[in-house]
């Protein structure tokens, strides 16, 4: 359904979504499929929906309804994946899938229609029922959902996951049959470092160099060089860099949820990272984005006030469920020295594959949590207890100030 225009600088719709990334886009898709009668508007400050990203997920992260929501977005699928640590290599029989921003943008445009999408402008101000854009347009909506990404992180503590990824065209086939989700045999520079590889075609591979670090400074030039060195060490000769992405994500170890919520949007409904909906250890957001989009689309009251209350309640429950994962992040950043952080997760990947699946999906059981802590600890027990009780080292407050290149 096309949006109705009111004058040259005004638009009306039932629901306006600020931010055309993963969270905002999935909310729009879910609403379109459940409530095709609604008029939607997505506002994205970039030129395309989804930006420039590769999102990946495990088959066990989403249920049947989630797979249906993601239908048409997936560009690659594999029946297994592997992890490589200095002391062992393991192949896990869990399916793995990838989505690219190009496919994401095309799918949303096909389902929503270009008239429902505004790109290249910023939202300057918003309330639960209206938005003012940088080009002077004013949107009047039955509800506004803010999915523009995380902001005001001073109320959270932890560290950073930062990365540069490149899709490479090779001169010869790479010979990799399935993804390497973590290769930790690389030099442990700037904290816990691993390399991630996705074999998209026999002679095309996506390589991402990732760090769990204390600061958010991203040295893109150095990471590009390390990707090239990794490819060369594997015997992969690069013919062309087809695409590149980079990012800095928070790894949350603690904080004040109430203060965080107040600082991110007042009485406006939120989605995605803006609502803190990501896994605390991995910064992994797709499972939460899928679950949230499906739940929101089923709400009977889609007014601005009702969706604001729904989003706060959902985010608060997510924060409460994430207490254990934040404790693991705290041990990672406050309990382990940077060069030894990989040991915290090295033992984890020796555990039952079903536990690992539940960890990524953010659905660990009480028994899972106990099993992770039982056995030889990856850091001294006194240090671990100090971090967990708050009597020892404490994670630092999160702040981009002066850190992002």
Domain ranges in the chain are 4-77+101-151+264-321, 155-253, 323-396
- Please list, in sequence order, all residues whose beta carbon lies within 8 angstroms of the beta carbon of residue 194, skipping any fewer than 6 positions away: 182, 183, 184, 186, 210, 342
Pairing of strands 238-255, 269-270: unpaired
**Distance (Å, rounded) from C-alpha 255 to C-alpha 232?**
42
Q: Give pLDDT < 70 ranges for the chain.
A: 1-8, 334-336, 374-405
- The structure tokens 């420039």 sit at 52
**Distance (Å, rounded) from C-alpha 187 to C-alpha 194?**
9
What are the backbone angles phi and psi of residue 39, rounded to the nearest 5°? -95, 130
Residue 396 pLDDT: 66
Residue 34 pLDDT: 97
Fold of 4-77+101-151+264-321: FAD/NAD(P)-binding domain (3.50.50)
Looking from the CA of 335 toward its CB, the CA atoms found within 13 Å total 27
**Distance (Å, rounded) from C-alpha 325 to C-alpha 318?**
11
Residue 165 pLDDT: 98
Pairing of strands 10-18, 138-146: parallel
Q: How far is CA 183 from CA 69, 176, 208, 346, 371, in A?
A: 31, 13, 10, 11, 24
Residue 360 pLDDT: 93
Q: Strand, coil or helix: what is 212? A: strand
Residue 154 pLDDT: 86
Cα 212 to chain centroid, rounded: 15
3-state helix, strand, coil in the chain (%, to 5): 35, 30, 35
**Distance (Å, rounded) from C-alpha 138 to C-alpha 146?**
15
CA dihedral 67, 364, 309, 13 (to 10 degrees): -20
Q: How many residues does the chain have?
A: 405
Could you tell me if 94 and 59 are in contact, meaning their C-beta atoms sit under 8 angstroms apart? yes
Interhelix angle 101-112/22-34, nearest 10 degrees: 30
Can you name the residues that pair with 245 across neighbouring β-strands?
A: 165
What are the backbone angles phi and psi of residue 115, rounded to the nearest 5°? -70, -20
Residue 386 pLDDT: 41
Residue 395 pLDDT: 56
Residue 10 pLDDT: 87
CA dihedral 233, 237, 239, 245 (to 10 degrees): -20
Could you tell me if 42 and 91 are in contact, meaning their C-beta atoms sit under 8 angstroms apart? no
Residue 374 pLDDT: 65
Domain 155-253 has CATH 3.30.70: yes
- Cβ neighbours around 277 below 10 Å, total: 25
Q: How far is CA 377 from CA 37, 335, 348, 366, 381, in A?
A: 55, 11, 10, 18, 7
Residue 383 pLDDT: 45
- Cβ neighbours around 3 below 10 Å, total: 18
Pairing of strands 396-397, 156-170: antiparallel
Strands annotated E in 135-279: 138-146, 156-170, 180-183, 192-201, 204-213, 238-255, 269-270
Residue 345 pLDDT: 77
Pairing of strands 180-183, 192-201: antiparallel
């Amino acid at each position: 359904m096309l949006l109705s225009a009111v004058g040259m600088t005004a638009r009306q719709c039932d629901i306006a979504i600020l931010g055309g990334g993963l969270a905002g886009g999935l909310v729009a898709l879910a609403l379109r499929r459940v409530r095709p009668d609604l008029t939607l508007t997505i506002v994205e400050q970039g030129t395309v929906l989804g930006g420039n990203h590769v999102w990946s997920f495990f088959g066990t992260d989403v249920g049947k309804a989630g797979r249906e929501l993601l239908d048409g977005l997936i560009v690659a699928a594999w029946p297994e994946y592997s992890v490589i640590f200095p002391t062992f290599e393991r192949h896990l029989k869990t399916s793995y899938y990838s989505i690219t921003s190009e496919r994401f943008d095309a799918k949303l445009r096909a389902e929503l229609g270009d008239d429902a999408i505004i790109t290249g402008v910023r939202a300057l101000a918003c309330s639960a029922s209206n938005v003012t854009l940088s080009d002077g347009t004013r949107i009047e909506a039955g509800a506004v959902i803010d999915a523009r990404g995380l902001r005001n992180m001073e109320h959270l503590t932890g560290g950073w996951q930062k990365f540069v990824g490149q899709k490479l065209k090779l001169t010869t086939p790479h010979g990799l049959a399935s993804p390497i989700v973590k290769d930790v045999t690389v030099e442990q520079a700037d904290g816990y470092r691993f390399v991630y590889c996705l074999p998209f075609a026999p002679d095309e591979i996506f390589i991402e160099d990732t760090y769990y670090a204390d600061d958010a400074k991203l040295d893109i030039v150095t990471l590009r060089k390390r990707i090239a060195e990794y490819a060369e060490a594997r015997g992969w000769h690069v013919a062309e860099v087809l695409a590149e992405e980079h990012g800095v994500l928070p790894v949350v170890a603690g904080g004040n949820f109430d203060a965080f919520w107040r600082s991110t949007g007042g009485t406006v409904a939120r989605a995605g990272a803006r609502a803190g909906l990501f896994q605390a250890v991995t910064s992994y957001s797709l499972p939460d984005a899928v679950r949230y989009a499906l739940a929101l689309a089923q709400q009977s009251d889609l007014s601005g006030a009702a969706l604001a209350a729904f989003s706060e309640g959902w985010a608060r429950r997510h924060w409460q469920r994430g207490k254990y994962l934040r404790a693991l992040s705290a041990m990672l950043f406050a309990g382990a020295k940077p060069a030894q952080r990989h040991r915290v997760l090295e033992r984890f990947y020796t555990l039952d594959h079903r536990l690992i699946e539940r960890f990524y999906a953010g659905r660990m059981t009480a028994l899972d949590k106990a099993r992770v802590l039982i056995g030889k600890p990856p850091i001294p027990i006194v240090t671990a207890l100090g971090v967990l009780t708050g009597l020892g080292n404490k994670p630092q407050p999160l702040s981009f100030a002066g850190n992002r290149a």
